[in-house]
Copies of this chain bind each other. A is one copy, B any other.
């Protein structure tokens, strides 16, 4: 019997299945320092314990995307080792801050399955939850991937396509306990723009760019214990190492500080597409579009729904061609909710 993990194939999934992912991980100040070295992360709430306390929190939580990548990374050996494509995200919510010293594990429930017409692969939907050492959920999201079949001749299972919300409705967003932006210090945060200054439809060019290096994306991807070989083995795939899509998400989110410095915390993930592959040598840029605005019950705290687009060139604001296909320079199209001072 082979002792290595061959990964799951399409036939290995069934709706209702629960997967408890290995390996739990204690994360803290070391992971934060690396995150801030790998990305131009500057959102004040995640940068300064003092700033976070002035906003009603006990200290600076770990960056929202550290939680996402850690929870996501654990699912890779069970969900995407034989994945042909990461197709989408939906219904993502950050449910509680992650503090330095917390230990996270991940659990996924298979909620949908549909064989492709070519008979060689299928789509699997999982709802993944990240759980801390107290048993509290810190994050949940749905993700669907295209997975290879082990045996193309195996019969197709009955299709179950989950009914997913097109976006998380604002009243379902969870505001971290105690968060209070009433005395928000805009000077220390880096920009004067408040919730009311952002208009639906407004586009923001984040201006800066970062040229990606092999060493950096591998450090980042390993940090989240994501071990998909296409990210590490130069010979695993035509065209060289494929950069983990989450590396592009974090690069774009942190580049968006320049124009969205006050979009402090991501609390909802409405959807997302990795439009084109990213490779070392690409220079990643980002632009955002304001999609929606909502009030929240927390003092001084508003929510903005934002489209975050990462590109490897091209003009800010341009996303798709006349046929509705992503332009070749678009890397990421992410739809999320962030908390912003009012």
Interface residues of A (CB under 8 A from B): 2-5, 20, 22-34, 36-44, 47-51, 60, 77, 101, 103, 105, 133, 187-191, 193, 197, 204-211, 213-216, 218-220, 222-223, 225, 227, 229, 232-236, 241, 258-261, 283
Contacts and interface: CB of A to CB of B under 8 A. Distances in A.
Contacts of A210: 218, 232-233
A191 B222 CA distance: 19
20 contacts: A3-B193, A3-B197, A4-B205, A4-B259, A5-B190, A22-B42, A23-B261, A28-B33, A29-B30, A29-B33, A30-B31, A36-B223, A36-B225, A37-B219, A37-B220, A48-B103, A49-B101, A208-B227, A208-B232, A235-B283
B4 A40 contact: no
B215 A22 contact: no
Given A42-B225, A218-B216, A23 B233 contact: no
Q: Is the interface of A mostly helix, strand, loop or mixed?
A: mixed
Contacts of A193: 3
A211 B222 CA distance: 13
Please tell me how many copies of the chain the complex holds. Answer: 3
Contacts of A283: 233-235
B232 A47 contact: no
A40 B3 contact: no
B24 A44 contact: yes
A59 to B, nearest CB: 8
A24 B27 CA distance: 22
B219 A3 contact: no
Contact of A33 (B4, B40, B223, B241): B223
A32 to B, nearest CB: 6
